[in-house]
Every structure is written in structure tokens, then in C-alpha cells.
Chain A
Amino acid sequence: MPGYTDPGFDTLALHAGAAPDPATGARAVPIHLTTSFVFESSDHAAALFNLERAGHVYSRISNPTNAVLEQRVAALENGIGAIATASGQAALHLSIATLMGAGSHIVASTALYGGSQNLLHYTLRRFGIDTTFVKPGDIDGWRAAIRPNTRLLFGETVGNPGLDVLDIPTVSAIAHEAGLPLLVDSTLTSPYLMRPLDLGADIIYHSATKFLSGHGTVIGGIVVDGGSFDWDRSGKFAELTTPYEGFHDMVFSNESTVGAFLLRARREGLRDFGASMSPHTAWLILQGIETLPLRMERHMSNTAKVVEFLAAHPFVARVGHPLLASHPSHALAQKLLPKGAGSVFSFDLRGDREQGKKFIETLKLFSHLANVGDCRSLVIHPASTTHFRMSDEALAAGGITQGTIRLSIGLEDPNDLIDDLKRALKAAEKAGA
């Protein structure tokens, strides 16, 4: 039972959305691996299809296990509700496809995950949605890039992998002045480090594959609506404010004053695009979230020690973490991310490409793979992997060079991580001799 204040983060991470199962008494969340749900009667069936009553019909649209995950992440993010999706990319696509169609325009940060950059720069253009990219810290650039057909501003809490911190209060104010929402990818910070909705963002999403899951086991995404954006007042979102022939002529903003986006995203987006999450995946992500506060605390303390070590190492040219005063986002991170700016960051070796290769191959504890946010420490060379489709110019705009190495700091003993890095740096240095 809640007290006089909102339930705390650690409590919500364990309890939001989940009560003992009324049918069996099971305390842990049951995995409802079923495609469909039996109707009580013909009237009940019709009422569910017509949104007269709330409930589950078919697991592409909703599922009880997924609903626990959705409530839990919405609770942790201070949102009004959420939709679990097949991946973080599915969450981004669902958000965009719910808000706009061909002829629309997006203003997005240059400091994006490579997959998001691909979607905006190549794929969505094929469907008539254009994007202008601006550097996350170029405040005038955000404002100048807005066009009459712009429908969304989009950035990441901290850009991957340069960790440029998005000034969400400022960028959201620019968006709102123009009657537009701000969508934020919150993957790298998780709600433990930052709640973008509290800072002015309107919709956020996660690749739940990363810190929410936390164990490198499943692919998943989730979209959370803050319920703060007034679609009617904006006047730019007929998708949400006029009758939709594809769903009972429903005017979503009439049905829900604050939840029109989620209503359409589920009723159209999951129905038609179908990028839903498996209940088994939802369950594994829920297991991860139960320890999210504990893990994030350890991620942050380990990261601080590794950053300190690397910053003092003579073979390291640059460490790109806002913990350091030299990082361009240091001051903003202190303000917006007081608990830490994440455990995924990059650094540059004082060496050539071959020495970088030697560094990665010498590491033993750090796993060389394409993921972040695992409980195990990870390493990758962005220019040849996650961001390989990007031109040198686009890479530079994202703060990436050919020599950049990205780390994702895990939960191991920090002394062991530092020993591993020390050994690999020595080997890389020798390889250049």
C-alpha cells in the first residue's frame, strides 16, 4: 500500500504491475505463453474488440505478462503506460509510425545509435519521411531545422558512444514552442539515472535488451508515454485527434485526454505492424528490472574506477565520459545525470588501427561483441561494426574516429577489469614498437 508519497523507485522495480496471481497464488510473475484468451461470452468478446472493456484478446496486441512489464517500466519512468515491442528498433518505428506518415519530417540528433541513424537516414526516406540531423548541443540548430511538416524531435539521453548529453529541458522547450513532441531514446541511462519525462520529454523508449534486461539474454523494446503532450492543442496530429476509419472511427484524443498516443500505437501499430514482444522475453526483462537499482549502482561505481584508470594511462589519448571535466557535456551531466552518465563510453588509443585490434584481442574479461548494458563487460570498435554504414563525416559528427574503442562496463570486480585493460593496453603499446 502506498503511503503519503509516491512509492519509491526500488519498490516499483519489484512490485509495479505485479501482485500474487489470483488463480494460483504464484508470487513471481507467471509467463502467459498463450496466443489467445477465452471470451466469457459473445457480449464480452464484442466489448473487448470495441474497447468497451479492457482485457486481453490476442498476444500480438496484449498479454498479461507483457502488461506487467509495461506497467513496471511506465511506473519507473513516471509515465502513464507503455507498450512492449519486439526490439528497441521496433519501439522507435512504432513511435514514429503512430505520429506521422509520408510527407512528414523529423529533426534528430546526430549522436544516435547506428541502427536508429540507418532507419531515419535510409529506410524512412523510402517511405516519404525525411530527417534533418543536428548536433545534440546545437540548440539553434534544433530550432532552425523545424519545418512546417515537422512532426517530431528525437534524440538520445546520452549519445552513443560519445556520451553527448541531450539538453532535454531546452530541446523539449523548443519542440513545445513549435507544437511538437520530443521523443527520447533512454536506453543508455535507464530510469535509474534519468527520467526524461520529468525533464520535458513527451515519449521515451528503451532497447530493453540493454540495462533493463541487464543480462544479455533477450531482444526487446518498450515505449512509454508521459501523457503530457496536448495533441489537440498542437493541431498537427490528425492521426490522434480526428476519427480513424481503421478503428471504429475512434477519435483517440476524445477517448483519452492524456493517452491518445498509446491507444493508437497499440490498436493500430501492434495490430498492423505486429512487432510485439514474446511473453517469455517480457518475463526475462522483468527479472532484470527487479535488480535494476542495484545493478546500475554497481555499473556506475565500476565505471568511475575504470574511467579514472584510463584517463591517467599514458597510452590513452582521450576518454569520452562526462565524469571528466574535459568532456563537453560534463556540466550538463552534473545537472541532468547526478547519479552518473552511464557505463557505455568510448576512448581513443594513442596508436593505429592494428594496435587497436591488438588491444581488443588481448582482453580476456571484456567480451568482443555488439551489445551494451550487459552485466558482463563488453568491448567493440564502432567504426567497423555498429556504425559501419556511416561516412567519416557522419562518424565525426557522432564523435567517433577510426581509433575509437567503446566499452560497456559490467558488474565484475573493478580491480579485475582494470587489470584486464592494463594488460591489453600494454600489449597494444608493444605492438606498435
Chain B
Amino acid sequence: MELTVNGHKTFCYTGGKSFDPAKPTVVFVHGVLNDHSVWILQTRYFAHHGWNVLAVDLPGHCRSEGDPPATVEEGADFVLALLDAAGVRQAALVGHSFGSLIALEAAARAPQRVTQLVLVGTAFPMKVSPALLDSSLNAPMKAIDMVNVFSHSMLAPPPSALGPGTWLYGGSRALMRRVLTSNPRVNVFHRGFSACDSYAGGEQAMDKVSCPVLFILGRRDAMTLPKAAEPLQRTARQGRTVLVEGGHQMMTEAPDETLAALKGFLKP
């Protein structure tokens, strides 16, 4: 569905179901150079099991207009504005990587509006090496290949986003290239990585979060190592953690485990 957020057309995948104000809502926020489609094997299930799903394309990414968030805080404000645009008073927030920081910051800014918080493949601080930051700006296609390798952990993934026969290395690379080229004005790769790198408010934000928090971490994640979530795990008052057998793109590398963790946590 399309919403107008901050005056800009914003695309939200709803999992094949129409938005129903009577149902609880869960918002899925993707990471750098991703879009709503990375959540297909989680969102479609929830949409058919009693939830409204809003899997958003962040501003300036693929189908959404607007200026891409330059900071985690800008992303958080966007998510809260998205809830307003959808007429949703309260929602569960699920974020991956950059999106996990955005979801965290949104939950800190409006604790009364967030019922549950799920941080997938998260880390704090989420520092990006200067070399990779530079490559994301000056040699983005090369940097995409590097990030793609770091983001995957297996040569034989289970049936995934396109069903059996999906080759995740190729699928992720194609998506990153598509997202990058979808915005001819702003390099969303560099902007997103810069936002991750510069975010300093993770622990303070977690301290303000009042809802239950689930960490879904990939045992083989080479982008955000599981131990890199410890500062947030220590700070979370109602936190629990599920480790899944996957790398950074665990939603596609371990789709069933990721879904099971979400199902076990998200209750209307």
C-alpha cells in the first residue's frame, strides 16, 4: 500500500492482505541497500495470522520517495511519522541492521507507541571501517560485492525468498544494485553506512525502551558479530536473545528460524 509520509509517497508491503485498523500492527524496517522484500518470508506469515504488516521501503529507497535518512534519528522520526500516516497508535517494530537502530531509536523516542521491539542482526556501536565507507561512496559496486560476501555464510541455503532454487549471493547482490540505482540523487549506500557509523545513542536509547525486546542474532554473522550486540543486551530491561544458524542476511539464510523467533515473541 502507499502512504503519504512527510508529504512523500511511501511504499509499504502488506504481505498480501489489506490494512485493517482493527488488527495489531507490526512494522518491518530494512537495512542499508535493502528494501521491504528482504522480509518476505516473515511478513507474509504475519499478514495471514492476525497482524497488519507494514514492511516499508525507507525514504529514497526503491518505491518510496523522499530524502533517505542521513541519521538513525531521522530514520526513527520517519517510522513514527509512518505510524501517524497509517493511523496506528501502537505497533511492534522489527528492524534489521541499520533498520534495527532506527527501530530502537523510535522505541526510545515514543516508548508508549511501541509494544514490542525486535532487533535483527544488530550491533552497537555499528561502526563501519573507513575503507568500506570510502568504497561505498567512490566504488559502490565493488563495495556491494564485499558487503555481499560478508553478509552470507553458506553456499547451500535452504529454500528461500524465491522458493527452492534461490541463490542468495546473487539475489542480495542484485537487490543492493537495484536499491543503489533506484535513487539517482543520493548514494543511499554511503548515506546509510554513515548513519550507522555515526550513531552514538544506542545505550541511552535502550535505557528509554519500556517494551519487551528480542534480539535475533546470526551465529555466523560477519557484519554484526553476535557479541557486538552485548552493550544493547546488557541495557535492555526486558531483553531476550535467539541465535539462528545464519549470517547477516538471516531472514533469507535462516528464514524458518527467524520466523519462529518472531512468532515466539510477537503476540497481539
A-side residues, CB < 8 A to B, are: 1-7, 11-12, 15-19, 47, 50-56, 62-64, 66-68, 70-71, 74-75, 78-84, 226-228, 230, 232, 248-250, 254-259, 262-263, 266
Contacts and interface: CB of A to CB of B under 8 A. Distances in A.
Contact of B174 (A80, A249, A254): A80
A213 B239 CA distance: 52
Given A53-B41, A53-B259, A67-B165, A257 B158 contact: no
Contact of A54 (B36, B62, B161, B171): B161
B177 interface: yes
Contacts of B162: 80-81, 256, 259, 262-263, 266
Interface stretch (B88-96, B146-154, B183-191): B146-154
Q: Which of B16, B174, B177 has the most CB of A within 10 A?
A: B174
Given A12-B155, A257-B37, A70 B165 contact: yes
B237 interface: no
B160 interface: yes
A54 B37 contact: no
Nearest to A69: B165
B89 to A, nearest CB: 26
B242 interface: no
Given A19-B154, A228-B174, A257-B37, A67 B159 contact: yes
B193 interface: no
B221 interface: no
Nearest to A67: B164
Given A50-B44, A54-B41, A83 B165 contact: yes
A83 B163 CA distance: 10
A81 B171 contact: yes
Nearest to A15: B155
Contact of B37 (A2, A255, A266): A255
B159 A16 contact: no
B167 A256 contact: no
B165 A71 contact: yes
A17 B155 CA distance: 6
Given A82-B167, A84-B165, A54 B159 contact: yes
Given A79-B167, A256-B40, A56 B174 contact: no
Contacts of B160: 54
Contacts of A7: 155
B166 interface: yes
Given A227-B170, A227-B174, A6 B163 contact: no
Contact of B40 (A1, A5, A62, A255): A255
6 contacts: A1-B153, A16-B167, A226-B170, A256-B161, A258-B178, A266-B162
Interface in B92-146: 145-146
Interface residues of B, number: 43
B169 interface: yes
Given A50-B44, A62-B164, A74-B170, A248 B149 contact: no
- 3 closest A-B pairs by CB: A70-B165, A227-B174, A74-B167
A80 B163 CA distance: 11
Contacts of B175: 227, 257-258
B77 interface: no
Contacts of B155: 2, 7, 11-12, 15-19, 75
Contacts of A266: 162-163, 165
Contacts of B63: 232
Contact of A257 (B153, B170, B178, B256): B178
A66 B48 CA distance: 29
A74 B161 contact: no
A17 B48 CA distance: 30
B145 A226 contact: no
Contact of B13 (A6, A12, A254): A254
Contacts of B170: 74-75, 78-81, 226-227
Contacts of A71: 156-157, 165-167
B154 A3 contact: no
Contacts of A62: 159, 163-165
Contacts of B178: 227-228, 230, 257-258
Contacts of A248: 16
B44 A81 contact: no
Nearest to B252: A54
B239 to A, nearest CB: 27
Contacts of B159: 54-56, 62, 67
Contacts of B164: 54-56, 62-64, 66-67, 70
Contacts of B165: 62, 66-67, 70-71, 74, 81-84, 262, 266
B145 A80 contact: no
Given A6-B149, A19-B154, 18 more contacts: A15-B156, A53-B259, A55-B159, A56-B159, A62-B164, A71-B157, A71-B167, A74-B170, A80-B170, A82-B167, A84-B165, A228-B174, A250-B16, A254-B13, A256-B161, A258-B37, A259-B166, A263-B163
B197 interface: no
B45 interface: yes
Contacts of A4: 146, 149
Nearest to B176: A258
Contacts of B36: 257
Contacts of B149: 2-6
A230 B181 CA distance: 11
Nearest to B170: A80
A54 B255 contact: yes
